[in-house]
A = this chain, B = another copy of it.
Amino acid sequence: MTPDAQHLVAKHSEPQATGDLGVIIERATGSVQIVDTSDQRKVASVSELGDLSHASIVFSRDERFAYVFGRDGGLTKVDILEQKIDKRVVQSGNSIGGAISQDGKLVAVSNYTPGGVKIFNSDTLELVLDLPAIGRDGKQSKTVGLVDAPDQKFVFSLFDSNEIWLVDMSGEEPKIQKFFDIGSKPYDALISPNGRYYIAGLYGEDGMALLDLWYPEKGVRKILPNYGKGEQRLPVYKMPHLEGWAVAGNRAFVPAVGRHEVIVVDMNTWEQVGAIPVHGQPIFVMARPDGRHVWVNFAFPRNNVLEVIDTETLEVIHHKEPGKTVLHMEFNPRGEKLWASVRDENKVCIYNTRDFKEVECLAAESPSGIFFTNRAHTIGL
C-alpha cells in the first residue's frame, strides 16, 4: 500500500457526518476552528484565510463546505470533512458578507471596495455574475445587507444611492428589480425567518425600510419611525447587527440603537409594542429555536454580559457574565445549548439553555462568529 493509500484508509476508516459540526472564526489568527456540538470538542483548525475581522459564513446544502467571507475580499471554501481549504479567491478589496442561493448553487458576496455584488458558482468559485451596483446617480455603490430569499433570489441594499435591489436568479438570465429612495444610507438589513420581509436599517435617518417580498409591487415602505440614531440618548458604540432580530410568535425582538433596550415589534402592524430595559446597548438578539427565550449580548463597554428575556413576560430572567468581550452566540439546532464566544478571554463557553448553567468552555484564539452547519437548511442564513 502506498503511503497515500494508507493515509486515505486511516483518515476515512472512521467516516464522519457533518450535521453536528460548526465553524468558529478566530479573527486574530485568520483561522477557523471546526467544532463538534455532540461531543463539545475541537475537531480541527484551518488557517490562512486572510483578514477575518467581521467575517461571516454560509454552508453548502450538503453541509460539507463552509464559505467564509473575509473583510479583505477573500472568499474561502473550507472543506469541513477534509479539514482544509478547498478553494479560495480574493474577489474584491473589502467585503462585508455573503449569502448562498436557495438551491445551493450560487454564492453571492457584498462588497464595500469597489462596491457591488459578485455571484459565484458554489462548486468552482468561478464568477457567474458581476453586479457593479451602479445607482440611479450613475455611481457605483457600496452594498450591504445581502441575503438569500425564497424562489432563488438575492436581495441587497445600496448604501450610497439609497436603493434596494431584488435579483431573481431562477431563469436563464438574471432579472433585477430596483427600488429607489428607500431611505438614507441603508447600513445593514435582515430577512425574516420565513423569507418574506426584507428590512434595512438606515444610517442617515430614523426608521427602517421594509420590502414585502410576497408583494414587491407594493414597493418599499417606512416602518418604526422612531427607530435609529435620531433617538439616541447615549453614544452609539456600535450599530447593532440587524441579522440579530429574533422572532417569536408574531413578535420581533429588535436591538435598540443607542439605548439600553430591546424593542418589541408586532409583525402584523410593524409597530413598536414594548421596550425591555436591558444591561447595555444590545448587539445580537437571538431567539432560542422554540421562541420561548431570547438571548442578548451588548456593545462595548458593557460587553462582558449575556441576558435572557422571557418572550411572554418580556422580563429579563437571567443575567450572566461569561467574561471579557462576548461577541457572538449560536444555539444548537434544537436549542438545548448556546455557545458564546468570549474573545478577549480566548474561549467559547457552552450553556445549558434549560437552567442557564455553564457546561464547559473550550479554548479558541480570539473567537468571534460561531456558525453551525444546520444553517445550510435555513432560508436567509
List residues of A whose CB falls within 8 A of some B CB.
1, 5, 8-9, 12-13, 15-21, 37-38, 59-64, 80-82, 102-104, 150-152, 170, 194-196, 214, 249-250, 289-292, 312, 333-336, 354, 373-374, 376-379
| CB-contact partner of A9 in B8, B61, B354, under 8 A | B8
Bound complex: CA of A194 vs CA of B334, how far in Å?
A: 10
Once the chains bind, are A15 and B82 in contact (CB under 8 Å)?
A: yes
Do A5 and B15 form a contact, CB below 8 Å, given A38-B104, A214-B292, A290-B195?
Answer: no
Once the chains bind, are B377 and A150 in contact (CB under 8 Å)?
A: no
**Taking the full assembly, how many copies of this chain does it contain?**
2
Residues of B within 8 A of A152 (CB): 336, 354
Residues of B within 8 A of A15 (CB): 12, 15, 64, 81-82
Do A8 and B12 form a contact, CB below 8 Å, given A152-B354, A290-B379?
Answer: yes
Do A376 and B336 form a contact, CB below 8 Å, given A5-B5, A12-B8?
Answer: no
Tell me how far the C-beta of A206 lies from the nearest C-beta in chain B, rounded to whole angstroms.
28
Once the chains bind, are A19 and B18 in contact (CB under 8 Å)?
A: yes
Tell me how far the C-beta of A142 lies from the nearest C-beta in chain B, rounded to whole angstroms.
28
Residues of B within 8 A of A81 (CB): 15-17
Once the chains bind, are B377 and A333 in contact (CB under 8 Å)?
A: yes
Once the chains bind, are A334 and B62 in contact (CB under 8 Å)?
A: no
Bound complex: CA of A62 vs CA of B21, how far in Å?
A: 8
Once the chains bind, are A335 and B150 in contact (CB under 8 Å)?
A: yes
Residues of B within 8 A of A5 (CB): 1, 5, 9
Residues of B within 8 A of A377 (CB): 19, 333-334, 374, 377
Residues of B within 8 A of A292 (CB): 150, 194, 196, 214
**Beta-carbon nearest neighbor of A355 in chain B:** B170
Bound complex: CA of A152 vs CA of B214, how far in Å?
A: 37
Residues of B within 8 A of A12 (CB): 8-9, 12-13, 15
Once the chains bind, are B196 and A19 in contact (CB under 8 Å)?
A: no
Known: A19-B60, A37-B61. 10 other contacts (CB 8 A): A8-B8, A12-B12, A12-B15, A16-B62, A17-B80, A19-B63, A150-B334, A150-B335, A151-B354, A335-B379
Do A312 and B249 form a contact, CB below 8 Å, given A102-B335, A333-B61?
Answer: no
Do A196 and B150 form a contact, CB below 8 Å, given A62-B17, A63-B17?
Answer: no
Residues of B within 8 A of A335 (CB): 102, 150, 379
Residues of B within 8 A of A82 (CB): 15
Residues of B within 8 A of A9 (CB): 5, 8-9, 12
Residues of B within 8 A of A373 (CB): 19
Bound complex: CA of A196 vs CA of B249, how far in Å?
A: 11
Bound complex: CA of A64 vs CA of B334, how far in Å?
A: 17
Once the chains bind, are A63 and B63 in contact (CB under 8 Å)?
A: yes
Do A62 and B18 form a contact, CB below 8 Å, given A38-B104, A250-B250, A292-B196?
Answer: yes
Tell me how far the C-beta of A334 lies from the nearest C-beta in chain B, rounded to whole angstroms.
5
Bound complex: CA of A5 vs CA of B334, how far in Å?
A: 38
**Beta-carbon nearest neighbor of A20 in chain B:** B62
**Beta-carbon nearest neighbor of A374 in chain B:** B377
Bound complex: CA of A19 vs CA of B37, how far in Å?
A: 16
22 A-B residue pairs with CB within 8 Å: A8-B12, A12-B12, A15-B15, A15-B81, A16-B62, A16-B64, A17-B60, A19-B377, A20-B104, A61-B334, A104-B334, A150-B289, A152-B336, A195-B289, A195-B290, A249-B250, A250-B250, A290-B379, A333-B376, A334-B377, A335-B379, A374-B374
